[in-house]
Amino acid sequence: QVPLVESGGGSVQPGGSLRLSCVASTSIFSIYTMGWDRQAPGKEREMVALITRDGNTKYEDSVKGRFTISRDNMKNMVYLQMNSLKPEDTAVYYCRNYGMNTWGKGTQVTVSS
């Protein structure tokens, strides 16, 4: 009902960086907790990071200190800055709206030599 569209995925070598972006088409974007999930081949989808409307954040342990989630409520955007990428970060990354329980279609992130 309210689309989420991710972008910014790609292929990088270990230690590299990517910045994912997500735009939400809703007039009340600012009230929602937003986040990023990911799903690697053969694995279940897992939570990576989330950010509340007040800017409080939570991270999956393996990405803590390497990834940073942020939001721009004026632009209805949420971002995931990914640094020091590892091969195990390879997955499809999905933008998530916790309030409406919706996900985008995902963007591929591949980390390899």
Q: Which two tokens stand for residue 36?
A: 């990023």
pLDDT tens per residue, range 97-110: 999 999 999 999 99
* Integer angstrom CA distances of residue 41 from 25, 45, 90: 29, 10, 9
Beta-sheet strands, E only, within the chain:
4-7, 10-12, 18-24, 34-39, 46-51, 57-59, 67-72, 77-82, 91-97, 102-103, 107-111
pLDDT tens per residue, range 45-57: 999 999 999 999 9
Q: For residues 3 and 76, is the Cβ–Cβ distance under 8 A? A: no
- pLDDT-based confidence at residue 28 (cuts at 50, 70, 90): confident
% of the chain with per-residue pLDDT over 90: 91
